[in-house]
């Protein structure tokens, strides 16, 4: 068959680019069909620094770029810490079952919508009553209903623009509340259900999941109770988006997206009372929050600095509290000091895990500065919570050290480094909090979605260590569903209408939890069982120090697929494949009249349109 190849370059960002994370957490009742390593564990994550007031609003660290970086963005540690935590560390912890609390705002969506009980977007059905202790509620009120009475409350969300938003909730906790209050997020007909124990964690925003909302959709959150139970469900506040902070200090507004704010300025907004802070500065409010919240471990993420006079400095170190024994930035025998108890064990595992994984997957010569101690306020004020502070790499390491592959500053830019680092920290947390439990598997690769006998069939490479998979489907856009568990590495998409375009992401599952997701691949269903004319290949894999998560969210198949559907009055149908699937022979180009090879901002390092791919096209 004569084939025509189109190379399609898509260089703009059509959606708020960020790592896509599955809506999986301890709040989802069906999240872990095979188990989760950190189920029942609570972890506080502290991404260091942020926008703060010190005789004027400012970041706490300067912008640094490695020598010769050209168009790279540069690293401000305050931002790096937050991005790495929000894209990788926090999702990975949630995906192994931990309940995660963060000292800074995790939603990078600058828009924000809050619906309170009593607002115009709020409605009730069944018997409800005013809360008996109004001061516990958001804006000093809340509503209560006995679960067995069948009452429901609905929050209608006026979404300001298409995009990804974290859904967070707030309620007044008490002993007579339900342990399984249901919060159902509806985006048109797509439903995500979460269950929350309203006996605890009241008076603060709890983050359920990061989901894509279409502005024109019927978007709402429904609160309901476990049927027949003699406990109360609470309807108080529902929020989407992180928002923009305009609080004023010294007569000057902050004027920053809330996710960039330091913990000192965010935690009161979260709902933490002044009584949680014996004294206040941006360093100590983080451990004070952990003490107030309660946790099994405290993980603090930073980048290091040499003072600017050692441009080839490189490597990772970790810190625990020195018990004020006079040791500073040096090792200390745990037999002499291990406060809070268990910190030395956690630190040793984190240090070993990070260095081992970076040497295996990033730089074989990665420098190990070892587990050290210091009198850091962030660690000193922890009470009975094992804590470690990670200095991941040097932001002022702007030159490649002899015998190394890259400058540290470049590494801190790179999504691949950030993922390896965060995954290593999560693996160490598993070893410490749940020894013997497995690590979650890696994400699936080689995804193909194709027309087979009037259905759409998704297939992918089997993943080592996976017991099953979860397949997420979005119909006609980016509103992915809650996912369906598959025991094999194939899946027939249900309920796809003729002519409809569907996109798929897949994760891997085992007794450790759930992996990060594959790229998004789509197809358009041809109901007559015929073969589509077009194969859409996603060849845009690049993520590095220049093309970051926000530049390639690995879902550009959506733009290309919807454009194919709209072309020529809807005359064209297509299958979709990851470029690796073509390389490995999982899909034959000869089956199609046209091949669209979707690319983006490419590089020689990533071997755009590789020799093997070109051979497949020529053959």
Beta bridge partners of 130: 143
Average pLDDT of the segment spanning 142-151: 98
Structure tokens at 327: 């040791």
Range(s) of the domain holding residue 402:
42-107+245-433
**Which comes out higher in pLDDT, residue 13 or 285?**
285
A 10 A CB-CB count for 570 gives: 11
Judged against a pLDDT cut of 80, whether residue 16 lies above it is answered with no
Mean pLDDT of the chain: 94
Q: How far apart are the first and last CA of the chain?
A: 11
The per-residue pLDDT for range 231-283, each reduced to its tens digit, is 999 999 999 999 999 999 999 999 999 999 999 999 999 999 999 999 999 99
Size (the chain), residues: 619
**Judgement on whether residues 352 and 448 belong to the same structural domain of the protein:** no
Backbone angles phi, psi at 361, to 5 degrees: -120, -5
Q: Which two tokens mark 599?
A: 């690319």
> 14 falls in which pLDDT band (50, 70, 90)?
very low
In a domain, 190, yes or no: yes
Rounded Cα–Cα distance for residues 619 and 616 (Å):
5
- Residue 222: in which H helix or E strand, if any? strand 219-224
Write down the pLDDT at residue 144.
98
Q: Which residues, in sequence order, are bridge partners of residue 248?
A: 253
Q: For 259-292, give the secondary structure using H, E and C.
A: HHECHHHHHHHHCCCHHHCCCCCCCCHHHHHHHH
448 and 389 assigned to the same domain:
no
Considering the domain boundaries, does residue 26 fall inside one? Answer: no
Can you give the pLDDT at residue 335? 97
Domain check: are 96 and 181 in the same one?
A: no
Q: Region 135-160: what's the mean pLDDT? A: 97
What is the per-residue pLDDT for 2? 45
21 in helix, strand or coil? Answer: coil
Q: How many domains does the chain have?
A: 3
DSSP 349: H
Same domain, 350 and 372: yes
Does residue 489 fall inside a structural domain?
Answer: yes
Domain assignment present for 568: yes
Kindly state whether residues 392 and 454 are assigned to the same domain: no
Model confidence, pTM: 0.96
Q: Is 473 part of any domain?
A: yes
Instruction: Report the pLDDT value the prediction gives residue 215, as an integer from 0 to 100.
Output: 96
Q: Is residue 593 part of a domain?
A: yes
Convert the pLDDT of each residue in 510-552 to its tens digit.
Answer: 999 999 999 999 999 998 888 999 999 999 989 999 999 888 8
Q: What pLDDT, on a 0 to 100 scale, did the predictor assign at position 529?
A: 85
The pLDDT confidence band at residue 425, using thresholds 50, 70 and 90, is very high
Torsion sign, CA atoms 395, 399, 401, 405: positive
pLDDT at 13 over 50: no
Two structure tokens written together for 113 = 């919508």
CA 319 to chain centre: 25
12 has a pLDDT exceeding 50: no
- For residues 213 and 216, give the distance between their C-alpha atoms in angstroms, rounded to a whole number: 9
Domain presence at residue 21: no
Cα–Cα dist 534/4, whole Å: 9
Q: Does 91 share its domain with 188?
A: no
Q: Are 591 and 606 in contact (CB under 8 A)?
A: no
Q: Contact, 297 vs 433, CB < 8 A?
A: yes
Q: What are 289-321's pLDDT values in tens digits? A: 999 999 999 999 999 999 888 999 999 999 999
pLDDT score at 18 = 77
Same structural domain for residues 307 and 409? yes
The enclosing domain of 347 has a CATH number of 3.40.630.40
Q: Tell me: do 283 and 422 sit in the same domain.
A: yes
Average pLDDT over residues 20-39: 97
Residue 320: strand pairing partners: 373
What's 609's domain CATH number?
2.60.40.10
Whether residue 33 lies inside any domain: the answer is no
CA torsion sign, 288 to 292 to 293 to 295? positive
Confidence band, pLDDT 50/70/90 cuts, at residue 497: very high
- Alpha carbon dihedral 80, 83, 87, 88, in 10-degree steps, equals 30
pLDDT in tens, 192-226: 999 999 999 999 999 999 999 999 999 999 999 99
């Amino acid at each position: 068959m004569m084939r025509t190849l189109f190379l399609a370059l898509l260089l703009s960002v059509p959606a708020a680019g960020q790592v896509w994370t599955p809506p999986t957490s301890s709040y989802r009742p069906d999240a872990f069909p095979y188990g989760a390593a950190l189920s029942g564990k609570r972890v506080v994550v502290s991404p260091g620094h942020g926008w703060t007031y010190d005789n004027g609003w400012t970041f706490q660290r300067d912008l640094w770029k490695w020598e010769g970086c050209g168009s790279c963005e540069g690293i401000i540690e305050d931002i790096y810490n937050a991005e790495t935590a929000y894209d990788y560390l926090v999702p990975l912890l949630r995906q192994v079952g931990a309940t995660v609390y963060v000292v800074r705002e995790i939603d990078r969506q600058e828009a924000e919508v809050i619906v309170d009980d009593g607002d115009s977007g709020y409605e009730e059905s069944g018997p409800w009553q005013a809360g008996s202790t109004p001061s516990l509620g958001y804006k000093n009120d809340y509503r209560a209903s006995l679960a067995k009475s069948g009452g429901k409350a609905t929050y209608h969300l006026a979404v300001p623009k298409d995009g990804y938003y974290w859904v967070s909730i707030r309620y007044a906790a008490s002993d007579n509340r339900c342990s399984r209050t249901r919060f159902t997020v509806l985006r048109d007909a797509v439903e995500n259900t979460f269950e929350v124990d309203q006996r605890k964690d009241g008076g603060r925003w709890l983050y359920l999941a990061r989901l894509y909302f279409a502005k024109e959709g019927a978007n709402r959150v429904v609160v309901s109770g476990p049927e027949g139970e003699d406990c109360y469900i609470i309807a108080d506040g529902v929020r989407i988006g992180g928002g923009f902070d305009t609080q004023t200090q010294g007569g000057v507004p902050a004027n920053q997206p809330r996710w960039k704010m330091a913990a000192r300025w965010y935690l009161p907004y979260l709902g933490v009372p002044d009584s949680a802070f014996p004294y206040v500065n941006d360093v100590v409010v983080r451990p004070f929050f952990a003490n107030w919240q309660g946790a099994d471990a405290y993980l603090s993420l930073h980048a290091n600095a040499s003072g600017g006079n050692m441009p080839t400095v490189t490597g990772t170190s970790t810190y625990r509290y020195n018990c004020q024994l006079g040791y500073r930035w040096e090792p200390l025998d745990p037999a002499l000091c291990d406060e809070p108890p268990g910190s030395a064990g956690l630190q040793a595992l984190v240090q070993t895990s990070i260095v081992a994984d970076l040497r295996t997957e990033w730089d074989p010569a990665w420098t190990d500065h070892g587990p050290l101690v210091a009198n850091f306020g962030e660690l000193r004020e922890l009470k009975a919570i094992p804590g470690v502070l990670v200095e991941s790499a040097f932001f002022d390491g702007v030159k490649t050290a002899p015998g190394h592959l890259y400058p540290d500053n470049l590494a801190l830019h790179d999504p691949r480094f950030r993922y390896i680092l965060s995954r290593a920290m999560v693996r160490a947390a598993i070893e410490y909090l749940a020894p013997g439990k497995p690590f979650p598997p890696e994400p699936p690769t080689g995804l193909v979605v194709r027309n087979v006998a009037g259905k759409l069939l998704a297939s992918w490479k089997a993943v080592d260590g996976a017991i099953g998979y979860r397949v997420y489907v979005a119909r006609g856009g980016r509103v992915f569903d809650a996912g369906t568990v598959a025991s094999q590495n194939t899946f027939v998409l249900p309920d796809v209408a003729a002519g409809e375009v569907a996109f798929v992401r897949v994760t891997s599952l085992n007794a450790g939890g759930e992996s990060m997701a594959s790229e998004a691949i789509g197809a358009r269903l041809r109901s007559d069982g015929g073969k589509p004319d077009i194969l859409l290949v996603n060849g845009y894999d690049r993520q590095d120090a220049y093309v970051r998560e926000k530049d390639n969210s690995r879902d550009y198949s959506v733009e290309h697929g919807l454009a194919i559907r709209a072309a020529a009055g809807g005359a064209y149908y297509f299958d979709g494949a990851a470029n690796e699937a073509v390389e490995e022979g999982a899909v034959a180009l000869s089956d199609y009249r046209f091949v669209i090879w979707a690319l983006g901002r490419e590089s020689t390092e990533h071997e755009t349109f590789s020799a093997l791919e070109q051979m497949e096209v020529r053959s």
